[in-house]
Amino acid sequence: MAHSIPFARMNGLGNEILVADLRGQSARITPEAARALAARAETHFDQIMAIHDPVSAGTFAYVRILNSDGTEAGACGNGTRCVVQALSAETGQRDFLFETKAGLLEAFEREDGLLTVDMGKPRFDWQSIPLSEEFADTRAIELQIGPIDAPILHSPSVASMGNPHAIFWVKDDVWSFALDRFGPILEHHPLFPDRANISLAQVTGPESLRIRTWERGAGLTRACGSAACAAAVSAARTGRTGRSVTVTVPGGDLRIEWRSDDHVLMTGPAEWEWSGTLDPATGAFARDEAPAEVMP
C-alpha cells in the first residue's frame, strides 16, 4: 500500500480497539476508511485511536478518536489504556500525557501491568453535557421509554466525561432489558444535540455496579470506559455508592475512583491481539506475517 501506516488490533475488556500510528506524517484516517474497517469482521472496531504528533508543548501525542460510524469522539478510556500499553511496549516509558478533542489526559502503566487513565473532571451542568433543555438537577432528568404510567426506563442521571452519558438506574439485571432496541432511540433523542451514550446501571453493593452500554456511534459494546466513569460518579452523586467502586461491564471489571480533587481515575487491563498496516484513506489493510507485541 502506497500510504500505509502501522496499526495494532487490541481490546480493553472486549472493547474492540484499533491503535493507529500516524506520527511523523500529515495523513488522517478518513471517515470512509473507518467505516470500511468497521465493516470487516477481522478489523471491526468500536474505536480507532489515531496517534498523531503532539500539538501542545509537554504532551506526548495528540490522539484522535474515531467511532465505527466514522464520527469523532472526545474520550475513550478503554482505548487510551490500549494506547498506553502499545507505546509503553515501544518506548519503555510508563507515564504519558495525551491531548484529545476533549482536553488533556494523563495515563500510566502500573507495576502490575494494569493501566490507569485520569479521565479528568466530570461535568454535570446541562449546557456542558450538553442537553437541549435546561435541567437544574441532572442527577435525575425527565426522560423515559415506555408507557407514561408504567415506563420501562425513566429518570436517568446525565453527565459528561468528555462525551455525553445518560445512566438509567434499574433494579433488575441489566441483561433483562432490550438495550439493542432502546439504545438507538435514546442515543438520537432530541434532548441530546450531540447524541449520547446510553447505559443501564444496577447497584450490586456499596462499592460495586454492573452496567451495559449502547455506545454513541458504535452500538452495543462489551466495555465503555467513559460510561463506567459516568455511572460511578453518578452513583456517588445520588448516594447509591461511595466514590470508589468496581464497575462490572460485559467484558470484565474496571476500578473507578472519584478523587477529592474531582478527577476520575479508571484502572483496568488492555490486551494486544495482532498488528498490520492500513491505508488511512481507504481502509485497505495487510496483516503482519510475524506480528510483534509493539507498534512497528
- Phi-psi region at 92: left, alpha or beta (left = phi > 0; alpha = psi -120 to 50): left
| C-alpha distance from residue 40 to each of 68, 249, 285 (Å) | 11, 25, 11
- With contact defined as beta carbons under 8 Å apart, do 198 and 187 qualify? yes
Marked catalytic residue, from 224, 228, 231, 233 = 224
- With contact defined as beta carbons under 8 Å apart, do 46 and 16 qualify? yes
User: Is 82 one of the catalytic residues?
Assistant: no
Marked catalytic residue, from 10, 17, 76, 117 = 76
Count Cβ atoms below 10 Å from residue 90 Cβ, excluding itself: 15
Type and span of the H or E element at 186: helix 179-187
d(CA 293, CA 296): 9
Please give the positions annotated as active site.
Answer: 76, 224
